[in-house]
Structure 1
Amino acid sequence: MNDNMFCYQCSQAIQGEGCTKMGMCGKDETLARLQDNLIFAAKGIAAYNYQLEEFGKSDEEVNKFITKALYSTLTNVNFDITSFIEMALEAGEINIKVMDALKQAHIENYGEPVPVEVQKGASKGHAILVTGHDLKVLEELLKQTEGKDINIYTHSEMLIAHGYPELKKYEHLKGQLGGPWFDQKEIFEKYEIPVLVTTNCGLIPKDSYKNRIYTSGIAQLPEVPHIDDYEFSDIISQALELPELEDEIDKSSYTTGFGKDTVLSLADKIKELVLAGKIRQFFVMGGCDVPNPKMTYYTEFAKQLPDDTVILSVGCGKYRFNDLDLGDIEGIPRHIDLGQCNDAIVGAEILTALTEVFDMGLNDLPVTFVLSWMEQKAVSILWSLLALGLTNIHIGPILPAWVDETILNVLVENFDLKLISTPEEDIKNILG
C-alpha cells in the first residue's frame, strides 16, 4: 500500500472512506502509525492479562494503562508524538509486569518447568488435541478425561505444558501432534479426533473437520461449538465415539521445559565455559512463525551457527529449528527452549541474573536477540525488551506494516534496532 497512513475512525474521514495522507483532525502519518503501534501493544498486553485473570488474579495498574492507552488514540485527544513513544515504552513495562504475573500463576499452579522430551506422533487410542496457549483450559480437560482412556495431545504453543510437573503428572498427556499454528489445517485433518482451540492462533476450519472442532475461553469460530465454564462432556463423548488413533511407528521428539531455575542452576558452568572460550555467544531466537518462505532464515541461521554458540528460544518461531540436533557444549544444550511467547519473561529474568554472574551490564553480555514478528503480542514483547534497555535487537524478515521509514528511524536511532539480512552476513557481523 502506497498510502502514508490509514485512519477511518471518525466521521471526518476523507470522502467517508479514510484519511491516507494527513488526518482531517490534523494528525500526520507518524502520529497515526504510533497510535496504531500503541493499540497493538495494548492488545498484546490484554491477551496475557486475560489468561492471568483466569487464575483469579488482576492488577489495577495494568487495567488503568490499557484504558489510558486506548483513550489516548481517540480523535482529538493526543497529538504529541513524544508521548506516544513514552507510552509505548510504558506498554513494554506493563507487559513485563503481566508476563511475570502470568508466569508466577503458572508456577504456583503447575510447578517450575523441568526439561522433558515430548513425543511427536500418535499412540494407539482415543484422543483429543489441544491448541493455543491456555494452560488452565488444558488442566481442566486433563482432570475431566483422567481414567477415561482418552489421550491428550498438544499442538503448537501448548508444547511447554509437558514441562510443568502438575500437568506432566497426568499419564494421558501423551505428546505433540504438529508444529506451528499454521500447519493446523493439515494436522487437524490428518488426525481424526476432536480438537479444542484455546486463545488465539485458531484458523477458520475446513469442512472436513469442522464437525469435530470446539473452542473454549476467549477463542470462537463460526459454526463451531463453544465450551463455557470448562464443561467438556460433549468433546469427551465425541472422542470416545470416534475411532482410535493408530500407533505411529516413527516417533521422534521435541525438547522443552527449561525454566529459570533449571537454566540458572547451570550458571557457574555457563560462566566457566564462556570464560574458557567454549561458549562464544548466546542467541535468543523467538517470536512468531508465519507461512512465508522468508522464514527459512531462522532454519538456516540455526544450522549455520558455529558449535560454540547456544540458542534460547521462545514462541512458535522455534519450530523453524527445533527439529535440528544441535548437540551440547559439555552438558549445556545448544538449544534451550523456554516455552511460549509469554515466557519471554523467563529469558529476561535469566539475562538479568547473568548480569550479576558476569558482573556486567545487560548489553555487555554475550547475547544477541534475533526476533520474528506475526501479531500483536510480539509488539508488546518487543517494547518490553526495549523498556528493559536492550539494544542491538535484530528483527525480521517481515516488518510490521505500520512501521514506515520514520518509525523505523526512531527505533534504529534510539534503540539500535537492526533489520536482518542473510544468515551468513548476520552471523558474520555478530560474531566477527
Structure 2
Amino acid sequence: MFCYQCEQTAKGEGCTIAGVCGKSSDVAALQDLLVYALRGLSLYALKGYKAGIIDKEINKFTCEAVFSTLTNVDFDPPRFQKLINQCVAVRDSLKEKLSKKGITIAHTEGPATFTPETTIEGLIKQGEKVGLKSEPDLNPDILSLQHILTFSIKGVAAYADHAMILGKSDDKVYQFIYEALAAGLNKNLTADELVGLVLKCGEINLLAMELLDNANTETYGHPVPTKVPLGAKKGKAILVSGHDLKDMEEILKQTEGKGIYVYTHGEMLPTHAYPGLKKYSHFYGHYGTAWQNQAKEFAEFPGAILMTTNCIQRPKDSYKDNIFTTGLVGWPGVTHMADKNFTPVINKALSMKGFENDTNGKSVMVGFARNAVMGVAGQVIEAVKAKAIKHFFLVAGCDGAKPGRNYYTEFVEKVPRDCVVLTLACGKFRFFDKDLGDIGGIPRLLDVGQCNDAYSAVQIAVALSKAFECGVNDLPLSMILSWYEQKAVAILLTLLYLGIKDIRLGPSLPAFITPNILNVLVEKFNIMPIKTPDEDLKAILG
C-alpha cells in the first residue's frame, strides 16, 4: 500500500504498511480500485453530459463513492466491494445508453473496460496494481498535481454530498468531478493545464460550499449566537459526532419524549446554533473534543454514540458495542444503519446507565456564522476605525493526533488583546473553551462553525473588504490554517482561487506537494509553513 492523502501520514512521507488512521492495506487497495473504477465511469459521464444524458442518481452515487475514500470515513471491505461492482454496473449502463445514441468512446482498456474480480481478495490484488505509485515513470511534478486534484475532489464530493442530502445540487459540480477524475487518465496534460484544473477545483469547491451553506440555512435557519454547556444532565444519553445536520435532526426527532438527552461531539458542536435544531428541549450540550482525548471520552461516555461522516479515529474494541454509524461511515464490527431509523441507538442508550448526576462545567459560545457577524458589521467596522480592534486572525482547520498541533493553542493564547480570533472546523477544539474576553461587547473568539461552514468565513472576509473598500489581501486579516484531510485541501484551493495570499499552513506541509510545486505556490501566493507562535505573530503584527 501507499497512501499520503492526510497530514498524519507516516514519517511525513507515506503510509506503506497500514494507515496511521487505522486503515488496513486491504482497505487502501479497495479504495484505490474504487477511484480507478470511478475514473472509467467519468469518461462515460462526460460524454453523457455533452449528449444531454444527465442522471441524478449517477451523480449521487459518484459523490458518495468518492466521499467514501476520504480519510476516516469507511474502513469496511464488503462495502467497497459493493461500491466497485455498482460503479462498473453504472458505467456499463451509461455506455449502453450512449451507444444507442451512436456515441462511442475511444478508450478500450483500463478503467473504461476493466472487469472486477468476484472476490474481495481478487479485488484487493487488482487495487494493488492501480494505486498512487502505479506510474513510477511519470514526472513527479505532474504526479503531484494529479494527486492534489484527486485528493481535493474528495473534499468537493463531501460538501456536494451533504448539500444533496438536503436537496441542493448543481450540475457544474458533478461535471467537474467527472472532469477531474478523467484527467487522471490523460497523460498528455501539461503542468500548466493541471494547475488550471487545480485552481478550477477551488472555484467549484466554492460553489459546493455555497450549496451546502444554503441547504443548511434554508432548512434549519441561520445560526444565532448560542451558549452551549459543557456539563451533563442526569439521565440517559446519546452522543452525536460528525457533520451531518440531517442525521442530527432525525436523532432529535426520534428521541423526543423518550427521556434521553442528546449531546454533540466534535464538529457537531455548531449545530446547537441552528434554530431548527436548538428548539428541541432535550438537545442539551457538548461532550468532549475532536481528537486529543477521543478514545478516553468514548470509553467513558455512559450512553450510545452515533457517528456521522468522518473526522474520527477508528473505534477501539472496548467501546465498539456502544457505537453506531450512519450514512457513508463504516467499520468492521460496528452496527451500521442505512435507513436513518435510529431505534438501535435509542434502545442502546436506554439500556445504559447514562449520567448519574448533573455536572456543571464551562460553557462556550457558538453561532457566529456569516449572518450573525454581518449583523454587527457596523460595530466591528467602527471598532477597527477607532483602533480598538487592530487585527483579525482566522485560526481554522482540522485537528489531529500527531504532535505539533499545540501550536494553535499557544498562538491563540498569545494573540494580543486588541485582536479578534475567528475559528471554524475541528482544529478549534485545541482552544475552543478559552475565555478571551471581548472588545466593546464583541467576543474576541468567534466560532464560525464546522469545516462545512468555510463558506461563511469567506463571505465574512469579502464583506469586510467591501466595507473597507479594499481587497481581502489588504485587510488586517491573517489566516493561520491547520490541515488534516481532503476537505481542508479543497478549502485551501478555494482560497488560492480567490487570490488570497500569505496563508500560514501547518502543522506540516502536504507530502504530495513536490518542491517545485511548492515553489509555484510560494511565488504566486506566498503560502508558507507555520514557525513558532512568537515568530509568526511578530512577522504579522510587527
Answer whether TM exceeds 0.5 for this pair: yes
Distance in 1, Cα, partners of 2:317 & 2:403: 27
| Equivalent AA in structure 2 for residue 309 of structure 1 | C
The residue number in structure 1 matching 2:44 is none
The alpha-carbon deviation at position 183 of structure 1 amounts to: 3.0
Q: Is the 8 Å Cα contact of residues 169 and 211 (structure 2) preserved in structure 1?
A: no
CA distance in 1, matches of 2:433, 2:319: 27
Other-structure match for 1:59: 170
Deviations 1:63-112 (A, max 9, x none): 010001011012x4443111111111111111111111111111111111
User: What SS does the corresponding residue of 2:317 show, helix, strand or coil?
Assistant: coil
Find the residue that maps to 2:293 and give its secondary structure: helix
1:144-189 CA deviation, whole Å, 9 max, x = no partner? 1111111101000000000001100001111111011453211110
Retained in 2: the 8 A contact 1:287–1:378?
A: yes
**Contact 1:188/1:209, CA 8 A, preserved across alignment:** yes
Does residue 140 of structure 2 align to residue 29 of structure 1?
A: yes
Equivalence for 1:132: 242
- Return the alpha-carbon distance in structure 2 between the equivalents of residues 295 and 331 of structure 1: 30
Distance 1:144 1:32, change over 3 A: same
2:85 maps to which residue?
none
Aligned residue among 314, 334, 337 for 1:224:
334
What's the counterpart of residue 418 of structure 1? 528
Corresponding position of 1:73: 184
1:243 aligns to 2:353 (yes or no): yes
| Aligned equivalent of 2:253, options 131, 136, 143 | 143
Q: How many residues are aligned here?
A: 426
Q: What amino acid is aligned across from residue 197 of structure 1 in structure 2?
A: M
Letter in 2 for 1:324: K
1:22 is displaced (CA, Å) by 7.6
Contact 2:12 2:511 in 1 (8 A): no
Query: Identity over the aligned pairs, expressed in percent?
Result: 46
* CA distance in structure 2 between the partners assigned to 1:49 and 1:100 by the alignment: 10
1:381 counterpart residue number: 491
Correspondent of 1:169 among 271, 279, 289: 279
- The DSSP-based 3-state class of the residue aligned with 1:294 is coil
* Structure 2 CA distance for partners of 1:18 and 1:373, relative to 1, 3 Å: closer
Pair 1:183 & 2:285 matched: no
Deviates more, 1:263-272 or 1:180-189: 180-189
1:229 positional shift:
1.7
Rounded to whole Å, the distance in 1 between the matches of 2:434 and 2:478 is 20
Deviations 1:266-305 (A, max 9, x none): 1111111111111111001111011123111111111111
Indicate conservation of the 8 Å contact 2:209/2:452, yes or no. Answer: yes
Structure 1 residue 19, shift from structure 2 partner: 9.0
The answer to whether the aligner puts 1:160 opposite 2:263 as a matched pair is no
Q: Tell me the equivalent position of 2:321.
A: 211
CA-to-aligned-CA distance 1:282-329 (integer Å, 9 cap, x gap): 001111011123111111111111111000101111111112111011
* Secondary structure, counterpart of 1:215 in structure 2: strand
Pairing 1:304–2:402 present: no
Query: Which residue identity does 2:253 align to in structure 1?
Result: K
Q: Distance in 1 between matches of 2:422 and 2:136?
A: 43
1:328-347 residue pairs with structure 2 within 5 A? 328-347=438-457
Per-residue Cα deviation, 1:2-28 (whole angstroms, up to 9, x for no partner):
999x999889xxx9798979844xx30
**SS in structure 1 at match of 2:500:** coil
Give the corresponding residue for 2:378: 268
Which whole-Å CA distance do the structure 1 matches of 2:337 and 2:133 have between them?
Answer: 42
Distance 2:131 2:346 in 1: 48
What secondary structure does 1:407 align onto?
helix
Contact 2:159 2:452 in 1 (8 A): yes
TM-score of the aligned structures, taking structure 2 as reference length? 0.75
**Which moves more between the two structures, 15-24 or 45-54?**
15-24
Residues 1:368 and 2:478 are matched in the alignment: yes
| Distance across 2 between alignment mates of 1:51 and 1:158 | 14
Partner of 1:354: 464
Cα distance in 1 for partners of 2:390, 2:496 equals 24
SS at match of 2:446: strand
The amino acid that maps onto 1:98 is A
Which of structure 1's runs of 4+ aligned residues deviate more than 4 A?
1-4, 6-11, 15-22
Task: Output the amino acid matched with 1:395.
Answer: L
Map of 1:105 onto structure 2: 215
Match of 1:192 in 2: 302
Provide the residue aligned with 1:115 in structure 2. Answer: 225
Q: Distance in 2 between matches of 1:208 and 1:23?
A: 41
Which residue of the partner structure matches residue 152 of structure 2?
41
Quote the Cα distance in structure 1 between the aligned partners of 2:164 and 2:406: 36
Query: Contact 2:396/2:481 (CA < 8 Å) preserved in 1?
Result: yes
Structure 2 SS opposite 1:311? strand
Name stretches of at least 5 consecutive residues in structure 2 with no aligned partner.
Answer: 1-10, 17-31, 37-109, 112-127
- Provide closer, same or farther for how the CA distance between residues 125 and 370 of structure 1 changes in structure 2, counting only shifts above 3 A: same
8 A contact 2:13–2:511 mirrored in 1: no
Map Cα deviations across residues 222-252 of structure 1 (whole Å, 9 max, x no partner): 1111112211111111111111312253411
> Any conservation in 2 of the 1:41–1:91 contact (CA below 8 Å)?
yes
Contact 1:21 1:29 in 2 (8 A): no
Cα gap change, 1:16 to 1:179, in 2 (>3 Å): closer
Alpha carbons 1:155, 1:178 under 8 Å: kept: yes
Maintained 8 Å contact 1:116/1:162: yes
2-side partners of 1:183 and 1:69: how far apart? 37
Once the two structures are superposed, the pairs formed by residues 383-398 of structure 1 within 5 Å of their partners are 383-398=493-508
The 10-residue stretch of structure 1 (164-173 or 119-128) with the greater mean CA deviation from structure 2: 119-128
Amino acid of the structure 1 residue aligned with 2:244: D
